[in-house]
Structure formats: C-alpha cells, structure tokens
Amino acid sequence: MAEFDRPRPLKEAARLTQMLDAVLGKDRFDRAPVDVEALAVEYSAQIAPQGRIHNVEERDIPGCVGALVCSETTPRQWAILYHFGQSPGRRAFTIGHELGHYMLHRQLIETDTRFDLGIYCDETSIVRRAGTGLEQEADAFAAALLMPLHDFRLQLPPKARPDFELLSRLARRYGVSLTAAILRWLEYTETRAMAVVSNEGFALWAKSSDAAFKSGRFLRTKNTVFELPPQASAARRDYTEEAKAGLAQAAGVWFPEPLVEMCIRSDRYDQELTLLHFDATGGGLQPEPPQEDLLDLFRT
C-alpha cells in the first residue's frame, strides 16, 4: 500500500471513538476505560469478517513488546500478541498500538515480503522513538483511541497546571500508564511544562509542551548524554512526598529561570519521572530550534 493510500490514524481513531460514544454514551469514561482487547476482536469482525482478529494473547516474544501477526493462508486471520509482564496500563497501550497496525497497515503487512506476515514492535517501536512511519502512526492511533482529546480536555483544561495526583487519576480513568497520560496532556496544554525520564542521574528522554519548546525550554537527549542538575530531586534521590508535590527550583538549576519541579520514582522500571512547570511569562523567548524526536513511555 502506498504511503499516501494508508488510512490516517487520527481519522480512524475518531471513527471508533464516535461509535463508542454513540453506543456507550459520551460519559463512558466515568464508568470504565476502553476495553481495547474486546474492541479489537469485535470491531475487526465487523469491518473485516473474513480477515478478523481472532485472539489477543500474552506470549513470550523476546525482544518485543507487542506484535500483530497473520496466517499464511488466505484470507488472512490475525492475532495481537503482547509480551509477558506488562502492567495493565502498558498492556492497554500495546494492544491499542497493535490494533492501530491492523486498522492502518494490515494490507501492507500481508502483502509486503519485508514484513514476513507480521510486524514485531520492540521497545523503541512502541514508544515513538522512531519518530516517523508506521510506528508513529500506530502510536498516534492508540493515544487518540484510549484518551480522546474531547474528554481529556474536559478533565484537564489547557491552562491548568496539574500535579501527579491529578495526572494519575487521569491515567486510571483511561486505563493507561502515567506517562502516556502526561504525554497526551503535553500535546495540547497551553502552559509551559516539561517531562523528563531519568536513570542514575542522566536523562533518558525529555518532552516539552509546545509553549515551553517555543520559549527555548527543551533538553537535547537524542544522540547525546544529559546529566541532571545536582540539585534535581532525581539526582539527589529525593523521592519524598514534598518532592512529589512540587519543590521550587531557583533560576540556573535547570534553566535560567525559576520553576516548580515534581518528581516520583518507579522501582519496577528503575526510572524517575520529573515534571517541570514554568511560569506563564515565557522566561525570555529564545529562537526555536529544530524539533527532535524525544518521546518515550515511562511504564507504570
């Protein structure tokens, strides 16, 4: 399938979202997140009864987080696989990602010999690190399906400055990981904010809101090493309730302006998540640099 012939991820996610809103009501998230496993099986049977998704299964797929595979015989029969040990939030996003491949790319996967009747998604694939192509499209589909913006924005207005408690409530509402919820919020917030995931005193990735990025508040982590400021909570291994709620950091610690820093740690994944809130004034605008691909998922 040619690049321009592929369905658009946001359009396909919106089609499913409208259907779910019509069937379950627009208040459906007040009751439960998207049951993406059941949706994959049932919706594929509606749109492609001869080539549906039959199974969504946990499997040992070393080196991969998830996979979408089909049969050698035609019409193709499909299955979604996810690797052992994923948390419920991470599992939901993995299944959503593979459903995105089915909705957007199944014709390509079943006809292009480079895929060998399946697409196998490793850690860097599902967490958007590639930045373009099939994996980015599947990620965009999963985020839009599991966390529709029309509902998300009602829960967290664009001008709000949330803490981890509120963001965690939203993660539970949508059945996703905390950082999946944070990344979704960063896509539309009008505030200047940044998320940083780190380990052993070094940033693994950083993602700024559009307003923060345009004011020069970003970190370069691609193909380089960024050492956290010594005063940062993650560098000091300060995971207290005070650090989680928010500590004031002076100008010159992270950037040439003061900010509020919130930090939590995931022992399960041996990583810290830091959220930086800047003030609303812009802090001295700087020329906008080229955008880098800086996305990852802090799995909780």
Which pair of structure tokens corresponds to residue 149?
């913006």
Alpha-carbon distance values, 84 to 2, 69, 78 (Å): 34, 17, 19
Least confident of 69-78, 99-108, 222-231, 241-250: 222-231
* Sequence-separated (6 or more) residues with CB below 8 Å from residue 84: 58, 59, 60
pLDDT score, position 124: 67
d(CA 14, CA 284): 38
pTM assigned to the model: 0.89
In the predicted model, is pLDDT for residue 6 greater than 80? no
The SS3 call for residue 211 is helix
Predicted confidence at residue 282, as pLDDT, reads 63
User: What CATH architecture does domain 150-277 belong to?
Assistant: 2-Layer Sandwich (3.30)
The mean pLDDT of the chain is 90
How confident is the model at residue 223, as a pLDDT?
Answer: 81
The domain ranges of the chain are 3-146, 150-277
Q: What is the pLDDT of residue 128?
A: 45
Per-residue pLDDT band at 299 (split at 50, 70, 90): very low
CB of 216 within 8 A of CB of 209?
no
Instruction: State the pLDDT at residue 248.
Output: 98
pLDDT of residue 68: 98
pLDDT of residue 130: 40
pLDDT tens readout for residues 123-182 = 766 654 444 589 999 999 999 999 999 999 999 999 999 999 999 999 999 999 998 999
Q: What is the pLDDT of residue 287?
A: 43
Predicted local confidence at residue 288, as pLDDT? 43
Task: Using alpha carbons only, give the angle 229, 235, 241 rounded to the nearest 5 degrees.
Answer: 115
- Other Cβ atoms less than 10 A from the Cβ of 110: the count is 18
- Tell me the pLDDT band of 265, cut-offs 50, 70 and 90: very high
For residue 216, pLDDT beyond 80? yes
Among 6-10, 85-89, 98-102, 142-146, where is mean pLDDT lowest?
Answer: 6-10
Q: Dump pLDDT digits (tens) for 274-289.
A: 999 999 876 544 444 4
CA distance 282 to 266: 31
Taking the alpha carbons of 31, 137, 190, 192 in that order, is the dihedral positive or negative? positive
